Structure 1
Amino acid sequence: MSDEDDLDEFEPDQEELEKEDDEKETEEWEDHRKEGEEFAEEWMPSPLTEDMMKEGLSLLCKTGNGLAHAYVKLEVKDRELTDISLLRSYIHLRYVDISENHLTDLSPLNCLTHLLWLKADGNLLRSARLNQLPYLQIASFAYNQIVDTEGISHPRLGSLDLKGNRIHMVTSLDPQKLSNLHTLELRGNQLESTLGINLPKLKNLFLAQNMLKRVEGLENLSNLTTLHLRDNQIETLNGFSKEMKSLQYLNLRGNMVSDLAELAKLRDLPKLRALVLLDNPCADESEYRQEALVQMSQLERLDKDFYEEEERAEADEIRQRLKEEQEQEHEAEQEHDLELDQSLI
């Protein structure tokens, strides 16, 4: 798996954009949370063994100066592991999958300084904290019990998955240390704010199924192309700016936007092509589709339907009429001011 493969599903012009909206996936992380609540019991110690290593190792590669060889890929999923201390001896590992176990401690991974790819989903982790791993590019900690974003500072990290955890606030994601992070997945947490996500190279941001009431602190994400905010509690469309000049896809389905006038706040997004507002009160208004296109002439798709040429022509006419009315109002105001000035002479 490469970071290019990982990004394929996030391309803004593909139907895969709605993948995160599937009810099945929503149920999946709810199931994980229920399981996490039942994990109060103590698990019997179950350490990683040499026999498990032999069974899970693969991908023989050259190491060091090229004269030696070692297996660099390990998969030990769903083994009820509680301890991976043995990994401290396998310093050449580059790809590690330790998902679906009962792990609470990832510190043995600090010895794997050649690690490129890590998947630790479905464990009992309270933190994703690790020492800085210089080559780590893809890391997934989905469906754990992680409560913060502290201790994540891998300089080549491109994709970080923290969905289905218990994070309330994003903190300590240092843009200097995470200068290559392009995809951040935070769906299904307990986020109450979008502050703390000031990552200059970020292209894909997934914040669905949280507790967000507004968008804030994202104004300077000039490389962001995809933003998912489905199933939050957002009422207004403040927080978007012309600095978000790359944003092409915005999903606000299942929020609380009721006033069509809020759509005017998205006019400063020059590359916005697809907007999803289904299951918001404003989507029930009769002029909903038309108003969106009047406010955003560059829009190609609203919800799941592309705009037809007839709709585009009608929106152009309305836009032109509004422009003329505004000009007439401005001229009338100027004449009124002039008359007022003359009466005071």
Structure 2
Amino acid sequence: MLKSHYKLQQDVDGVEQEIEESLHFEQLAEAVAEEEQKEIVPNALPYPERKLNRSEISVRLTLLGKTAEGDGYTYLKAVCTGMSLTNISAIKSFQHLQFVDVSNNNLTLENLQVVTELPFLLLIHADKNLLNSAGLKKTKYMQVIIMNNNKLTSVRDVFQPELCTLEVGYNKIRRVDLLSMPNIKCLDFRYNLIEDISNFDFPNLDSLYLAGNKITSLNGIEKLPNLRVLHVRNNPIRILSGFDPELKKLQYVNLRNCKVSTLKQIKKLRVLPALDTLVVRGCPYMGGIGEEDAEVGVEEEDEQLRIEVLASLPKLKRLNKGTITPEERTEAKELIKQWIEDGEINEEEILEEQHHDDEESNVD
């Protein structure tokens, strides 16, 4: 599971590590296998009723903290996972709960609605259930909804006024047609069926995870002025359109195993003033095949291609998991001089590189 957050900033290196771990092939294979099994037996009998009782909840309470009123201490989190539950009505007796995890059960949306009766609920985690909708009734404080590996086809009915994070990976969602929620900071729609993001309108969005979809164009991200992390690994993206100088906070872009095949496309990222981490491993330009391949072992990088990318994007600090070395930076500057001599770089690019050198000198 991606480490979701509410109104918190994450370190880019930490983000990258968690992203890579969460995209492990075994997880994808497991999700696909489960879905195929469900489709093979569409007329299977309903799951037997399994009610959660209060005593079971009591021994699964964690995270001691202050009550919402601040007049005492209580347990704020309940973890009731892997219990084959179909009914969790008993949970409403624990009115101080702020975090509820009911992953890996047999809950439908109707069964899950009882959590909206918890007056101080901040986070609901309901991976691997029988949810065909994420449309929980409106609550006052809900900030995080996590519903990976369910049966969702849409998020059109999701509305929580304080929602910051929506994580719905490994479903069958085709459009990100969310209602306007001004506090949205993190959207995770990995491994769905999304093809188009041109309708995106989330002005305060910080992190966007869309790996493993069917996106061919990034037109639409220019409407996300506060975006800091863009993760679109394993999408059939060939043309890097949509990037704009107004994306002033975009630091991390992951295009691993996309279809980018030319340096010309990578150079389009020069307009991003804050970009310091780029992942393009697995793209045709870097010698990859532009798709996930479980049989591929450790990939060896062409050092010359790394230098070409760095010469095109001299502000980078990390490229494909590796920190830029002083030697690589020196080689990149030499390549820039060669490009200038050969007329392969225009005056605007030269001025930008000079400006970058001045910034480095001031820092030193």
TM-score normalised by length of structure 2 = 0.78
Instruction: Tell me how many residue pairs correspond in the alignment.
Output: 327
Partner of 2:326: 309
CA distance, structure 2, for counterparts of residue 129 and residue 263 of structure 1: 39
CA distance, structure 2, for counterparts of residue 68 and residue 261 of structure 1: 61
Deviation at 1:114, TM superposition (A): 1.1
Instruction: Please say if 1:291 is aligned against 2:308.
Output: yes
Q: Is the 8 A contact 1:173 1:196 kept in 2?
A: no
Instruction: Please say if 1:145 is aligned against 2:151.
Output: yes
Partner of 1:116: 122
Q: Is the 8 A contact 2:7 2:164 kept in 1?
A: no
Partner of 1:49: 53
Q: Is the 8 A contact 1:10 1:16 kept in 2?
A: no
Q: Is the 8 A contact 1:60 1:72 kept in 2?
A: yes
Deviation at 1:166, TM superposition (A): 1.0
Distance change >3 Å, CA 87–CA 15, structure 1 → 2? closer
Larger Rg: 1
Distance change >3 Å, CA 157–CA 13, structure 1 → 2? closer
CA distance, structure 1, for counterparts of residue 235 and residue 177 of structure 2: 20
Deviation at 1:278, TM superposition (A): 1.4
Amino acid in the other structure paired with 1:162: V
Partner of 2:317: 300
Please give the secondary structure, in 2, of the residue aligned with 1:3: coil
Worse-superposed segment, 299-308 or 231-240: 299-308
CA distance, structure 2, for counterparts of residue 86 and residue 187 of structure 1: 33
CA distance, structure 2, for counterparts of residue 32 and residue 249 of structure 1: 32
Superposed CA RMSD in Å reads: 3.2
CA distance, structure 2, for counterparts of residue 301 and residue 61 of structure 1: 39
Aligned with 1:199 (options 198, 202, 208): 202
Instruction: Please say if 1:274 is aligned against 2:280.
Output: no
Amino acid in the other structure paired with 1:161: E
Please give the secondary structure, in 1, of the residue aligned with 2:241: coil
CA distance, structure 1, for counterparts of residue 282 and residue 345 of structure 2: 37
Please give the secondary structure, in 2, of the residue aligned with 1:271: coil
CA distance, structure 2, for counterparts of residue 22 and residue 301 of structure 1: 22
Percent identity at matched positions? 33
Please give the secondary structure, in 2, of the residue aligned with 1:267: helix
Deviation at 1:34, TM superposition (A): 3.5
Where do 1:240-255 residues align within 5 Å?
240-255=243-258
Q: Is the 8 A contact 2:68 2:120 kept in 1?
A: no
Q: Is the 8 A contact 1:45 1:82 kept in 2?
A: yes
Distance change >3 Å, CA 64–CA 203, structure 1 → 2? closer
Give deviations 1:172-231, integer Å, cap 9, x for gaps.
241xx2x22222211111111223432222222111111111112111222212111111
Instruction: Please say if 1:82 is aligned against 2:86.
Output: yes
CA distance, structure 2, for counterparts of residue 160 and residue 134 of structure 1: 16
Q: Is the 8 A contact 1:143 1:164 kept in 2?
A: yes
Amino acid in the other structure paired with 1:22: H
CA distance, structure 2, for counterparts of residue 69 and residue 300 of structure 1: 45
Instruction: Please say if 1:131 is aligned against 2:134.
Output: no
Distance change >3 Å, CA 58–CA 275, structure 1 → 2? closer
Partner of 1:26: 28
Q: Is the 8 A contact 2:308 2:335 kept in 1?
A: no
Flag structure 2 segments of 5+ consecutive residues without an equivalent.
289-301, 348-364
Q: Is the 8 A contact 1:253 1:280 kept in 2?
A: yes
Deviation at 1:262, TM superposition (A): 0.9
Amino acid in the other structure paired with 1:279: G
Partner of 2:358: none
Partner of 2:39: 37
Worse-superposed segment, 41-50 or 102-111: 41-50
Distance change >3 Å, CA 9–CA 328, structure 1 → 2? closer
Where do 1:319-330 residues align within 5 Å?
319-320=336-337, 322-323=339-340
CA distance, structure 1, for counterparts of residue 260 and residue 70 of structure 2: 59
Partner of 2:359: none
